[in-house]
């Protein structure tokens, strides 16, 4: 799978070469920190990560499959782009699944405080994943990106639930078509 500790193990074994030492010296603070964060991930069973390029830990995917709440049985894909200023700046996270959600707009932008104004360097990738998962368990109509969905959630939870189910199965909610995203 991921060879996160290959350099460390080579050094312990005494098999480190000049080229692998130079690779180690070139690792940025962001790469070192994201490697540590990924090694310490404790994902719930409803989440999984994918690394399209195992050598590039700064760009990866997250799949959340809620097992309760409005979004139960849905499958939502997120892209993570960790910048070179990490952990001093939050990663850029986008929802790649078109979803009817008060805190995720139709372009995939996410309203999660720790991705913006409340980010602190002590937070980790794990913190973000749990924050995203919580958005599916408890959507927040008081801080919306999708104002229409937030308005419906605030005024009529039953209609909101019907709209979410329509969107998960693949169908129109208002004039927007949502492709099926049920697992």
Please provide the distance, in angstroms rounded to a whole number, between the alpha carbons at the two ends of the chain: 24
Place of tokens 């039953």: 158
| DSSP element (H, E) containing 109 | none
Radius of gyration of the chain (CA): 19
Q: Is the peptide bond before 61 cis (omega within 30 degrees of 0)?
A: no
Residue 177 bridge partners (DSSP): 172
Two tokens at 10?
């080579």
Residue 57 bridge partners (DSSP): none
Q: What is the residue extent of each domain of the chain?
A: 6-178
**Residues taking part in catalysis:** 111
Nearest residue to 149 via CA among 173, 179, 180: 173
Q: Using CA atoms, how far apart are residues 101 and 54, in angstroms rounded to an integer?
A: 31
What's the pLDDT band for 25 if we cut at 50, 70, 90? low
Percent of the chain topping pLDDT 70: 86
Look at the domain 6-178 and name its fold: Ubiquitin Conjugating Enzyme (3.10.110)
pLDDT at 11 over 70: no
Give pLDDT, residue 3: 47
**Selected residue with higher pLDDT from 14 and 51:** 51
Kind of pairing between the strands at 76-81 and 176-178 = unpaired
């Amino acid at each position: 799978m991921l060879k996160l500790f290959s350099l460390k193990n080579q050094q312990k074994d005494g098999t480190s070469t000049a080229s692998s030492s130079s690779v180690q010296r070139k690792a940025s603070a962001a790469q070192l920190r994201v490697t540590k964060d990924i090694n310490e991930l404790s994902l719930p069973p409803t989440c999984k990560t994918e690394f399209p390029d195992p050598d590039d830990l700064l760009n990866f995917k997250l799949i959340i499959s809620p097992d309760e709440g409005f979004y139960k049985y849905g499958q939502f894909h997120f892209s993570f782009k960790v910048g070179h200023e990490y952990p001093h700046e939050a990663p850029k996270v986008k929802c790649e699944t078109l979803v009817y959600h008060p805190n995720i707009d139709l372009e995939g932008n996410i309203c999660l405080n720790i991705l913006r104004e409340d980010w602190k360097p002590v937070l980790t990738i794990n913190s973000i994943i749990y924050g995203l998962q919580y958005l599916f368990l408890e959507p927040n109509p008081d801080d919306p990106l999708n104002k229409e969905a937030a308005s419906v959630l605030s005024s009529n939870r039953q209609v909101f639930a019907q709209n979410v189910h329509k969107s998960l199965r693949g169908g129109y909610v208002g004039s927007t078509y949502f492709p099926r995203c049920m697992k």
